[in-house]
Amino acid sequence: MATRPFSFTASVTPVALGAALAAWDGKFNLLIFGLVLVGSVAIHAGTNLINDYYDWRKGTDTAESLGPNRPLKEKLVTPRQVLIAGLLCFALGGGIGLYLVAARGGLFILVIGVLSVLAGYFYTAGPAAFAYIGLGEVIVFIFMGPIMVVGSYFMLAQEVPLRVVLLAMPIGMLVAAILHANNMRDHDMDRAKGKRTLSNILGRRGSKIEYVFWLGRFRGDAGPGAAAHGAGARIADVAGGASGLEAHQARDWQRGPEGPEWTGPRLGQPARPLWLAYDPGRRARGAGVTLEGYVLGRTHR
């Protein structure tokens, strides 16, 4: 449980999306996909462990903290064991990445892999850790959205069409929303411990607006390369409606009460969108192909 496996949907989903897009383009390889998936989850697990270790070491996580860092709180493992396990997960992910670079070639994927490990480690490590200077959501959006989807697609297809980058962005927004929900939950405790998240930088009202932004409807043309039967494609109803968190609900939350009553049970809900965001029943307005059309098949008017 120290690796927080319940959170792995946040890394499995973007990798699976990249692979599904590659399969749609006729460039799928099961072995490569499996290696990319295991490597990505390993880096995610390592990030979780290193995160817990440094939050504990810096005094941000304590026995009174609300987060999921139970093994350290309950003294089921020692901080040193958590650190070693995190480094081993990084080593596993890095080893798989080096094999893929050697097998598939490409400086591009090597750079992505190195940056991903560094981002995972320095998310909470060091005096200017990303999570401690208000960059947590930005880093998560970049690396668990576009970087993971693009990396997965590139390893299979050896190219990166613009539409793949655009289709990756809602995934990053949803993962950033999950992180921001956690930061809103820990708003007061993080501020007391000197951890500068966007939640306590912006204040309660500002953090609610940011939360609405991450769950807001993301729209954009997927580009001519994504067209099917001459119809332009549009990304719509992904983050807000398709997640089961409709826009009016988000607005209600923005207007909701201050304090623990607002930042309590409701903030457990955003973990769902990663599986629900690509609901095949959702259709893009005015387009012949929806986002899920790229992944699951063509959708006509």
Helix, strand or coil for residue 60? Answer: coil
CA-to-CA dists, residue 156 to 8, 51, 68, 149, 199, angstroms: 21, 30, 35, 11, 38
Query: What's residue 23's pLDDT?
Result: 96
pTM, rounded to two decimals: 0.74
Q: Which phi and psi angles does 277 have, rounded to 5°?
A: -60, -30
Q: Which tokens in the block code for residue 106?
A: 């490409």
Query: What's residue 65's pLDDT?
Result: 67
Query: What's residue 151's pLDDT?
Result: 94
pLDDT averaged over 10-residue windows placed end to end, the chain, 301 residues: 84 95 95 96 95 87 65 81 95 94 86 94 93 94 95 94 93 92 87 87 90 69 34 32 40 49 44 39 31 34 33
Distance CA 301, CA 286 (A): 8
Helix, strand or coil for residue 196? Answer: strand
Query: What's residue 69's pLDDT?
Result: 60
- The CATH 1.10.357.140 domain(s) of the chain lie at 1-160
Distance CA 3, CA 11 (A): 13
The number of CA neighbours under 13 Å toward the Cβ of 197 is 28
Task: Tell me which residue has tokens 């995610």.
Answer: 44
Domain 1-160 has CATH 1.10.357.140: yes
Nearest to 118 by CA among 80, 153, 147, 146: 147
Distance CA 179, CA 185 (A): 10
Distance CA 71, CA 198 (A): 27
